[in-house]
């Protein structure tokens, strides 16, 4: 069984830790992973990690938490930064109205620029959405209508059914993290059950959100197995089947990942 952690933050681990983090993932059957950018100024860090480990790809972009730090990069700057063989996507970008670490109008403008950059670069966009379902759905619809389709996924999905359905209607993918394993996530598991099999991915969002039975520990890519196990149970398939399904979906969404 081979899994892909579609979203982790390997730069949160020290350079000395990273080889063992990657090795533990491989021993757990997590043979590939994507380390995600949150500041365009840190893109070189993500690229260096992906160059260091053949099991790792990366994305580049500006997280909504960091959207208010300085000047938001232009579409052209994002596209230019993504021009690297180990960069397979744009992001993460999106909206976070829970923490509100950046002004909401700045977040929205940044989100739109990342959508346009993803379309221009021909790369999928990794979307962060928290407590902003209506605005995320509206921007996706508006940008789709104005500029045409673009590939994207809602990462670490913990939003409502309406956003999932809006994203799926536009051809988007949905990725589930350790939140799917939490005891109080019955509604989330019900949403996951209704996502078409060809649109499902798994991730850790490590070092955050360690899944059951590892709550309280620092999360790492090896723990993707626990989320995949929970998703398999929800979908009524075996762990081997969910690994094959999510891996195939990953490569369809991220064609540059070879």
Domain of residue 190 covers 3-253
Give mean pLDDT, residues 4-30: 98
123 found inside a domain: yes
Domain tally, the chain: 1
DSSP E strands in the chain: the ranges are 3-8, 30-35, 56-60, 87-96, 125-130, 152-154, 173-176, 200-202
Query: Are the beta carbons of 68 and 104 closer than 8 angstroms?
Result: no
- pLDDT, one tens digit per residue, over 190-200 is 999 999 999 99
**Cα–Cα distance measured from residue 189 to residue 235, given in angstroms and rounded to the nearest whole number:** 9
Residue 176, Cα to own-chain centre: how many angstroms? 9
- pLDDT, one tens digit per residue, over 120-132 is 999 999 999 999 9
> How far, CA to CA in Å, does 156 sit from each of 53, 175, 258?
24, 6, 23
29 found inside a domain: yes
Q: What angle do CA 74, 156, 103 make, to 5 degrees?
A: 40
183 found inside a domain: yes
Q: Pairing state of beta strands 30-35 and 173-176? A: unpaired
Tell me the pLDDT band of 1, cut-offs 50, 70 and 90: confident
**Cα–Cα distance measured from residue 140 to residue 138, given in angstroms and rounded to the nearest whole number:** 5
Other Cβ atoms closer than 10 A to 242? 24
Tell me the pLDDT band of 258, cut-offs 50, 70 and 90: confident
Kindly report the pTM of this predicted structure: 0.97
CATH of residue 208: 3.20.20.140
258 found inside a domain: no
- pLDDT, one tens digit per residue, over 148-204 is 999 999 999 999 999 999 999 999 999 999 999 999 999 999 999 999 999 999 999
- Confidence at residue 11, expressed as pLDDT on a 0 to 100 scale: 98
**Cα–Cα distance measured from residue 12 to residue 150, given in angstroms and rounded to the nearest whole number:** 29
Question: Tokens 């959100």, residue?
Answer: 209
Query: Are the beta carbons of 89 and 46 closer than 8 angstroms?
Result: no
How would you label 219-228 residue by residue, b for 16+ Cβ within 10 Å and e otherwise?
A: bbbbbbbbbb
Tell me the pLDDT band of 257, cut-offs 50, 70 and 90: very high
Q: Average pLDDT, whole number, for the chain?
A: 98
- Confidence at residue 256, expressed as pLDDT on a 0 to 100 scale: 96
- Confidence at residue 108, expressed as pLDDT on a 0 to 100 scale: 98
The pLDDT > 90 percentage for the chain reads 99
Give mean pLDDT, residues 98-118: 98
- pLDDT, one tens digit per residue, over 208-252 is 999 999 999 999 999 999 999 999 999 999 999 999 999 999 999
- Confidence at residue 106, expressed as pLDDT on a 0 to 100 scale: 98
């Amino acid at each position: 069984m081979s899994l892909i952690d579609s979203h982790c933050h390997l730069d949160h681990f020290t350079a000395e830790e990273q080889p063992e983090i990657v090795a533990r993932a491989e021993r757990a059957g997590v043979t590939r992973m994507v380390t995600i950018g949150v500041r365009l100024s840190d893109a070189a860090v993500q690229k260096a990690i992906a160059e260091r480990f053949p099991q790792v790809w990366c994305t580049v972009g500006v997280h909504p938490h960091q959207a208010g730090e300085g000047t938001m990069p232009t579409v052209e700057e994002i596209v230019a930064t993504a021009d690297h063989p180990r960069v397979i996507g744009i992001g993460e970008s999106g909206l976070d109205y829970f923490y509100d670490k950046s002004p909401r109008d700045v977040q929205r403008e940044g989100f739109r620029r990342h959508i346009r950059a993803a379309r221009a670069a021909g790369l999928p966009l990794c979307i962060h959405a928290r407590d902003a379902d209506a605005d995320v759905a509206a921007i996706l619809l508006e940008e789709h209508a104005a500029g045409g389709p673009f590939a994207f996924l809602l990462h670490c999905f913990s939003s409502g059914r309406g956003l999932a359905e809006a994203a799926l209607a536009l051809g988007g993918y949905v990725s589930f993290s350790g939140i799917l394993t939490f005891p109080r996530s019955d509604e989330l598991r019900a949403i996951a059950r209704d996502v078409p099999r060809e649109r499902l991915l798994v991730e850790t969002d490590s070092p955050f959100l360690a899944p059951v039975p590892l709550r309280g520990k620092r999360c790492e890519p090896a723990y993707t197995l626990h989320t995949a196990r929970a998703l398999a149970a929800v979908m009524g398939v075996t762990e081997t089947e969910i690994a094959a399904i999510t891996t195939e979906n990953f490569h369809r969404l991220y064609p540059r990942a070879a």
